[in-house]
Structure 1
Amino acid sequence: MSSPPPPPEASQYVSPWSTRYASKAMRENFSDLHRFQLWRKLWYVLAECEHQLGLEYITKEQLSALANAPPVDIPLAQSYERELRHDVMSHVYALGDQVPIAKPIIHLGATSCFVTDNSEIIQMRDGLDILIPMLWSVIARLASFARKYKDLETLAFTHFQPAQPTTVGKRACLWIQDFLFDVEQLEYLRNKLRLRGVKGTTGTQASFLSLFDGNHEKVKLLDDMVTQKMGFEEHWPVTGQTYTRKQDYWVVATLAGVGQSAAKMANDIRLLQHMKEVEEPFETKQIGSSAMAYKRNPMRCERINSLARFLQSMVINPAETASTQWLERTLDDSANRRLAISEAFLSTDAILQLCLNVSHGLVVYPQVIQRNLARELPFMATEAILMAAVRAGGDRQVLHEEIRKMSMEAAAKVKERGEENDLIDRIQANPHFAAVREQLEEICHPKHFVGRAPQQVEEFLQQHVDAKLKEKNLILHGDEVKV
């Protein structure tokens, strides 16, 4: 039996954002269809505001025709673009064919950047509206995890070397704090985004001043009215043909900050999974390796790191674009921005989808955590043991030398022969420490070495997270987050 032929699209490159990574909502937000729909909305709002400000030759019938135009005819516009070599004008012509009565007043007084720049800013704002609830949901899930494990002592690491213990919940708070910073930056950015507005070909508004017979106040009102009708509080007060590309840099750099935080968390989880202490979710039929059947690779966290690396590398694009805009504008920003801005949002979306999945299903192995801690804790407890023995009447210098020698012997046994740490057994058998022999188990309990970690978790969540989650209407139902 012959195999069925592959689908036609299989022989063409398709972006992985569309097939593997980004969410349906984000893909739709940056789709061609949505962009062209925004162009039509901008043309309608522009004409409506021009009519309201006194351009009587824009009729209500024309406005009604624009408001009720048939769906965007992309093939028709493409046929015009092959001839005109201009994307905006091809859609002006296509819309004019679909609503002939309105054809004379479409794009009246505007330049291409009226629809391209303004629509892209709207897409960025709407993209942030998709990302911000996702990030709050990640924070909510990690907050639940941190509170659950706030008291579970674990070995901490500096330079990836054993250090003073912390708790599993406290470590998760490090991730939460970074994400909290990010979401606050995203919200600030979302509320401060400015529309390009209605500025004309080189930003002077000359064409609109001509339309309104030199009436400066009406031109200013037109700028304000269109801005407000498109859902923005502010427009850029001055522009060239384009709005300042520094706004794009600000957007992408802020998104890259989310990638940084996600990559930090993912790297930590990968290290912990290597030590078999904490693992990302692993599905029942998931295959970790095509060759090594026993493996449980941290593929989700590895993908977070992979996508975050891509996202962070994109910051240079809008930085270069902002710095190389010639005078009132140059078109070498267009193709670059079409890739950089949309893919920055799509990659952030994909990263947060993975963060939601990982934070929802983290697996903790307390027995392994306790075993790993027990291997190192005796060395860290020597100072506490020494002080207790001194308080019981011992000679500090003699005790210090005894515990130093026993520590060296125990360390050699662990490192050179791969055996268990028997330092506590050695101390128990040493007559110099007989006065504290019965206290050793309590002295060495991990809870005495984590400082205020459990209290820090609760205080941090109560003071900086819980109220904000409540404000955002994030309600936890078990392990699920409802937005």
Structure 2
Amino acid sequence: MEAVDRYDSPLATRYATPAMVANFSDRRRALLWRDLWIALAEAERALGVPISEAQVAALRAARERIDFARVAEHEARLRHDVMAHIEHFGEVAGADAGKVIHLGATSCYVADNAELVMIRDGLELLMDRLVAALDALARFAGQHRALATLAYTHFQPAQLTTVGKRACLWAQDLGLDLETLEQLRARLPFRGVKGTTGTQASFLALFHGDHAKVRALDRAVAEAMGFAGSIAVSGQTYTRKIDTWVVAALADIAGSASKIAVDLRLLAHKREIDEPFEADQVGSSAMAYKRNPMRSERICGLARFVHSLATSPRETHANQWFERTLDDSANRRLTITEAFLATDAILNLLVDITSGLVVHPPVIAANMRDELPFMATENVLMRGTSAGHSRQELHRLVRGHSLEAVAGMKRGEPNDLMARMQADPVLGPFVDADLTAPARYVGRAPEQVDEFLAEFLAPLLARHEARRGRFSAGVRV
């Protein structure tokens, strides 16, 4: 990349995918504004406003002709971004067509409606990425459904689980996030054609008091922009509560991905599972042997950023004075776009990671080896009790041997609990090698994997069949 004497957000230049960057680009926004002006003129003409087909055709023909330097000249003079674009659109479309641009509208007609289109399309892109991650995790979980591994509570060894079952915990969170985006996409409204303070007064004047035509205009523009309908009432803006829904949903996705990434960082420390690592990738400029989980670490860092953004929409919503105040504008330009770009970057990384996880079964088995004797003690107690021994006496003996084994482990010795119990005259008859077979301690984990994949994940992914294969990660390491 060519170095320039200006700051560019690393979300756009380094982390987010080209598709998401393009969705929130200045050109996309300007083209959406023009689409909205064209849709408004077309709908007004269809409803009887004296606008000619030639005027509308001129607007359509000039749609792609945007000179941002010229727009900047207008904005420097007018100090108003929407008016700068209106003037430039009129220049390239011609004076006659320029007369009908923005007829009856306010700036939020283009600004808010365009943002809702970008939000809608951004949600679609994020759902593509979630489906790709879930597909990868489904394959991984099925492949390792029965591979026993230590489970942890408080990051202390607990009972066993399976690698596949743990992956299902990750996939469940992402699946719930996908359901959230489904619902959010379905309920996302258009602002529509509402006028300066949301009363539609200017459009009522345009149609000489015909309320039915004003309502028809609102529906026609919403339909032209791909929305089933518009919000029931608005001030000058659509309610900023919608922004709180959107960024909160993105923060939830970031949290799910970060939880997965933290688990993988811990597993990398245990040398049980690694994220992908290229042949020439360098883990450390100083320590040549290092293989750091940098993708997972990046997810955690970006997730922290998205979480920090989730408070802004709530503050903006709470501080909208009456029908609108302008202190939302600068904040929203940053918050909404950055939240989408960062979440996109997170999921891009997550798809890359989950598609290439490397499992090390010998290390997993070695890490279980020292803990399995402790898990076997419950079966020793059950066998001894069934044979007529006092549970309390058996418990006292097991506890004593366990504490001695732990003391030895803290001196660097191997866990000799099984040998200690086998040598005990009371416990020995109830101890055999089969007691430390890992499959005895995973419970229904393999069956739970099968049930989760069949009953939760498969129906969810079936609803999004058209998205499968639509996204593949491209990570800049």
Name the TM-score class by shorter chain: over 0.9
Partner of 1:3: none
Whole-Å Cα distance in 2 between the matches of residues 51 and 215 of structure 1?
15
Whole-Å Cα distance in 2 between the matches of residues 83 and 397 of structure 1?
89
User: Among residues 174, 181, 206, which one is paired with 2:176 in the alignment?
Assistant: 181
Q: Size of the alignment, in residue pairs?
A: 469
Whole-Å Cα distance in 1 between the matches of residues 22 and 74 of structure 2?
24
Q: 8 Å contact 2:312–2:331 — kept in the other structure?
A: yes
Measure how far apart 1:471 and its partner are: 3.4
Structure 1: which 4+ aligned runs deviate by more than 6 Å? 474-477
Deviations along 1:258-283, whole A, 9 cap, x unmatched?
00100100001111111111111111
Check if 1:52 corresponds to 2:49: no
Q: 8 Å contact 2:12–2:21 — kept in the other structure?
A: yes
Q: Which amino acid aligns with 2:403?
A: M
Whole-Å Cα distance in 2 between the matches of residues 85 and 476 of structure 1?
46
Aligned pairs for 1:311-460 (under 5 A) are: 311-392=306-387, 394=389, 396-415=391-410, 417-437=411-431, 440-460=432-452
Check if 1:90 corresponds to 2:63: no
Q: 8 Å contact 1:140–1:474 — kept in the other structure?
A: no
Partner of 1:272: 267
Q: 8 Å contact 1:194–1:236 — kept in the other structure?
A: yes
Unpaired runs of 5+ in structure 1? 1-5
Q: CA RMSD in A?
A: 1.7
Q: Percent identity?
A: 53
User: Among residues 31, 34, 44, which one is paired with 1:37 in the alignment?
Assistant: 31
Whole-Å Cα distance in 2 between the matches of residues 420 and 475 of structure 1?
51
Measure how far apart 1:428 and its partner are: 2.2
User: Among residues 457, 462, 466, which one is paired with 1:470 in the alignment?
Assistant: 462
Whole-Å Cα distance in 1 between the matches of residues 212 and 279 of structure 2?
67
Q: Which amino acid aligns with 2:399?
A: R
| Structure-1-length-normalised TM-score | 0.94
Whole-Å Cα distance in 2 between the matches of residues 445 and 144 of structure 1?
26
Check if 1:229 corresponds to 2:229: no
Whole-Å Cα distance in 2 between the matches of residues 181 and 298 of structure 1?
26
User: Among residues 234, 242, 252, which one is paired with 2:237 in the alignment?
Assistant: 242
Q: The residue matched to 2:150 in structure 1 has which SS?
A: strand
Q: Which amino acid aligns with 2:378?
A: E
Whole-Å Cα distance in 2 between the matches of residues 277 and 13 of structure 1?
40
Q: The residue matched to 1:165 in structure 2 has which SS?
A: strand
Q: The residue matched to 1:157 in structure 2 has which SS?
A: strand
Q: 8 Å contact 2:422–2:429 — kept in the other structure?
A: no
Deviations along 1:40-65, whole A, 9 cap, x unmatched?
0000000000000011x200001111
Measure how far apart 1:14 and its partner are: 1.1
Whole-Å Cα distance in 2 between the matches of residues 173 and 434 of structure 1?
39
Aligned pairs for 1:113-128 (under 5 A) are: 113-128=108-123
Partner of 1:305: 300
Q: The residue matched to 2:168 in structure 1 has which SS?
A: helix
Check if 1:147 corresponds to 2:142: yes
Measure how far apart 1:474 and its partner are: 6.6
Whole-Å Cα distance in 1 between the matches of residues 203 and 16 of structure 2?
40
Deviations along 1:444-473, whole A, 9 cap, x unmatched?
212111211111111011000113223322
Check if 1:251 corresponds to 2:246: yes
Q: Which amino acid aligns with 2:162?
A: T
Measure how far apart 1:211 and its partner are: 0.7
Deviations along 1:168-195, whole A, 9 cap, x unmatched?
1111111111101101101111111111
Q: Which amino acid aligns with 2:226?
A: G
User: Among residues 90, 100, 109, which one is paired with 2:104 in the alignment?
Assistant: 109
Partner of 2:17: 23
Unpaired runs of 5+ in structure 2? none
Measure how far apart 1:255 and its partner are: 0.6
